Structure 1
Amino acid sequence: MGSGERKRGAGLLGVLVLSVFAVAVAAAAAAEATADRGVKGLQTPRRRNAYASMMYMGTPRDYEFYVATRVLIRSLSRLGVDADLVVIASFDVPRHWVRALEQEDGARVVRVENLNNPYKDQANFNRRFKLTLNKLYAWNLVDYDRVVMLDSDNLFLQKTDELFQCGQFCAVFINPCIFHTGLFVLQPSKKVFDDMIHELTIGRENKDGADQGFIGSYFPDLLDSPMFHPPINGTKLDGQYRLPLGYQMDASYYYLRLRWSVPCGPNSVITFPGAPWLKPWYWWSWPVLPLGIQWHEQRRQTLGYGAEVPMVLIQSVIYLGIILVTRLARPNISKLCYRRSDKSTSLIQFGLKVVAIWSILAAYTVPFFLIPRTVHPLLGWALYFLGTFAICSTAVNTFLLPLVPVLVPGIGIFGSLLVMAFPWYQDGVMRALAVFAYAFCCAPIAWTSLTKVMACLQVSLEREQFLPKLGDSPPPSGFNKLY
């Protein structure tokens, strides 16, 4: 890596420990500073070409893709592309989302009916791709000479207006035999669109039941087409062309080498075609995915985080309140459990152990699912650790447990983030080995801490003031009341 990349990585490593309020204030300021950028271009006359993306409803991640689409549109506008920015949105997309795209982001929104997916009953069909055939509406944008159709998980490193010089259909083969439909160039045609709809009705072969399989089947000869090289004189080409890999760089290539070295074509666009829960806009994407921070940097510079900051602040106040209340109530909070009972003491002890263990497990899982998914990674991780500490403090003060052993899993998670964020790995293999070695070294510490927590819990349960021992003399008449 170059010295500049190492400095940036070292900076990221240092800012991981910023407090939740400092990051929240910075995010709010960024949101306010960039709020007016999206309105540019609303009065711009219609251009000859367009960058297009699509939105539809019906998945658990509709809001996340809405945010991703807005960041994509604004990042293209920020690059100064000479093209219209179009969003093909189904009629069930909320009207206030459409208004935000049009009035704040400067996009042209084209409303469409969802295309029925005739492949939804085939054996290998993935339900999350049910409405991806709406992408075919790109061929119906006949107001434009060329359209670059995009998925919302594309990260642009530079503008790619030379793509509008490509032919009737152009795409990238990130798989040796199958081109990817996360980015492709097309010449809109009502005739082609109508023919595609006809092919849907008669059931053209589609290996995956989604847009990828259908478009791949519709253009089966692209693999034998020539490589696209933009003419110097700016003229548009005819026919089909393969796009160089640099126009659709699979992020997994980067994770293997931790640098880009694509020999063919400009390194212009990064795509994230992996698991849906590892998309770059999720706060846990960094440092698990090194490129996640680059996507969030684009969002910080364009859309900002104003939508998520209020929820972050509310959760922060609640967590701080939990920490304060449980600390002040420590002398009395455990007495809620210390009633005289006619049941077996061992049964009560077992039940209390289960409650204690589950409360600790909840401390490391519940905050993860409460944090808004699309906040900045630094803000998300800070809020996660704050929530974990708050819930752990409840278990510690209720069951009189030692604080440090209970917090060992959180300390281990924090350490793993530092290991993954270390900026000087030679390649992704060394990074993976470092994470594995760290986990191997931490395993004995985690086991020792678990043993200590269980031992201390047993001691607390057997204390006379915590639970009366069997065989003791009957307590006074007021014992049945809470202390």
Structure 2
Amino acid sequence: MKPQNHNAVLQKWFLLLLAICSCSSIADCKEKRPRHKNAYATMMYMGTPRDYEFYVAIRVLLKSLARLNVEADLVVIASIDVPLQWIQALEEEDGAKVVRVENMDNPYEHQSNFDVRFKLTMNKLYAWSLVDYDRVVMLDADNLFLQKTDELFQCGRFCAVFINPCIFHTGLFVLQPSMSVFNDMVHELKIGRDNPDGADQGFLASYFSELLDQPMFHPPQNGTKLNGTYRLPLGYQMDASYYYLRLHWSIPCGPNSVITFPGAPWLKPWYWWSWPVLPLGIQWHERRRQTLGYGAEMAVILVQSAIFLGTIAVTRLARPSLSKLCYRRNDKSIIFVQSSLKVVAIWCIIAAYIAPILVIPHTIHPLVGWTLYLLGSFALSSIAIHIFLLPMLPVLVPWLGIIGALMVMACPLYPDGVVRALCVFAYAFCSAPFLWVAIVKIMAGLQLSLEREAFLPRLGESTPPSGFNKLY
């Protein structure tokens, strides 16, 4: 091949590569542009012990909205410290548009009633800066969508639900993005606008204080968008506590569209222990099973199951005990040693029922979580039983009691939540004597074990050789 022909071929390849890159860049630019005029948005920030749990909750929320075929973009307002791999998962796997932002300073963090977990919730105000969209529905991660709610985009410049008779809730609201409103909000933050709770809830309730007197939102049949502010019907954000009262929904105004869980932070629906304590938790996990799945936690679950089963096998076969402990009988510290061993034994039993909760992945399915918890607590209890030579049944009374409590709470035959609560209370009342008897028997068993020759030589026996002075 002649040099001129070789150069011509290289030039053609270079132009082709440049064209491909240009097309890719154009495609990327188009992809970054809004695909719809409206958006469902949520926020993510770091700095709490529950960052991963909220990450999972946000992904389930996004996938649930996508599964409903909503006609809107999915947007995540993420602080710049959110891990890159999480951002990639949100964009590539969940189809979300991620907007990176700096954490907004919270001027209320020095209030006496300030809760530190709300320090970064002011990032929610960035929703007003999403000016590429006509309307944005801003969401907290603990919303569970039952059906499509695209009619909310017809609402005015600000719309929210009053799940409290006098204060609207900021777990779901509709807004019309505006840089002038956003800048005014930032200014109000700097001058310290009145904020009862120091979080986004109190700030927005103060900023839109006139909302209580506004009319109820009813979507126009012709699809036009309204102006002004409106109260949203309760059906757009049903407080889960309403369900627990009657064990069924009875929302007279608006469609039953969205469930919210604004209660105790450690009873959010994604935690496996929230069900059957709170019956609706299983619905959230059913939505996760249909969308995100549980593949991320399965490896940890299998490893922990193997460890717990191995622990049970070892304690049954090896039967470890304190039988090799030996002291001089004339040692004045023998009473202290016995008391110490009793304390250690009691704490081992308590730890057997607490440790599994700490190590089991928090966001796995409740049926898997409770099964793994019962397996783990049984395995750790068996260690205490065999080390301290304790009677098995008294040590396992709490274990059996937990199984009974789960069955009482999960029973589907209650007519309403009041009867369910009374039954749980009655079960706890009837179980208390059994727990007390178990504690008495455990203490008696500990004392008997400590007095056995296997642990300590009996009173009156000759002093062991000097070589046995030490604990070995």
| Larger deviation, residues 259-268 vs 309-318 | 309-318
Q: What is the match of residue 334 of structure 1?
A: 322
Match of 1:432 among 402, 411, 421: 421
The Cα shift of 1:241 comes to 0.8
Residues 329 and 457 of structure 2 are in contact (CA less than 8 Å); yes or no, is this contact kept in structure 1?
Answer: no
Greater shift, 222-231 or 335-344, is seen at 335-344
| Deviation (angstroms), 1:151 | 0.4
Output the amino acid matched with 2:73: D
State how many pairs are aligned: 441
Q: 2:224 aligns with which of 235, 252, 258?
A: 235
Kept in 2, the 8 Å contact 1:139–1:186? The answer is yes
Please state how far the C-alpha of 1:466 moved relative to its aligned partner: 2.5
Contact kept? 2:234, 2:253, Cα under 8 Å? yes
- State the AA in 1 paired with 2:293: G
Distance 2:32 2:75 in 1: 14
Q: Please list every run of 5 or more consecutive structure 1 residues that lacks an aligned counterpart in the other structure.
A: 1-41
Residue of structure 2 equivalent to 1:116: 105
Give how far 1:474 is off.
3.6
Instruction: Evaluate the alpha carbon distance shift between residue 217 and residue 45 of structure 1 in structure 2; reply closer, same or farther with a 3 A threshold.
Output: closer
Q: Which amino acid aligns with 1:211?
A: D
CA distance in 2, matches of 1:425, 1:43: 51
Shift of 1:349: 2.1
- The 2-side partners of 1:227 and 1:482 are apart by 77
Per-residue deviation, 1:96:
0.7
CA-CA distance at 1:420 after TM superposition: 0.5
TM-score by length of 1: 0.88
* Aligned partner letter, 1:170: C
- Tell me what 2:177 maps to: 188
1:354 maps to amino acid: V
CA shift at 1:424, angstroms? 1.0
Alignment of 1:83-232 (within 5 A): 83-232=72-221
Work out which of the residue numbers 378, 383, 394 in structure 1 matches 2:383.
394
The equivalent residue for 1:24 is none
Alignment identity in percent? 73
Higher mean Cα deviation, 435-444 or 309-318?
309-318
Match of 2:287 among 277, 280, 298: 298
CA distance in 1, matches of 2:190, 2:439: 60
Tell me which residue corresponds to 2:19. Answer: none
Aligned to 1:8: none
Task: Look up the SS of the partner of 2:323 in the other structure.
Answer: helix
**1:255 is aligned to 2:263:** no
Structure 1 match to 2:17: none
1:91 Cα deviation from its structure 2 partner: 0.5
SS of equivalent to 1:335:
coil
Distance 1:209 1:136 in 2: 14
Which whole-Å deviations, capped at 9, do the CAs of 1:291-317 have from their partners, x for residues lacking one? 011111111111111111111222211
Mapped to 1, the partners of 2:193 and 2:471 lie a distance apart of: 73
Partners of 1:478 and 1:214 in 2: how far apart? 73
Distance 2:440 2:346 in 1: 12
Measure, in 2, the Cα distance between the counterparts of 1:480 and 1:379: 49
The partner residue of 1:451 within 418, 440, 447 is 440
Please say if residues 335 and 482 of structure 1, whose CA atoms lie closer than 8 Å, have aligned partners that are also in contact: no
1:376 aligns with 2:365: yes
Q: Using the alignment, how far apart are the partners of 1:464 and 1:215 within structure 2?
A: 71
Counterparts of 1:343 and 1:290, CA distance in 2: 57
Work out whether 1:407 is the aligned partner of 2:393: no
Larger radius of gyration: 2
Q: Letter of the aligned partner of 1:334 in structure 2? A: L
Give deviations 1:129-181, integer Å, cap 9, x for gaps: 11111111111111111100000000111110010111111100111111111
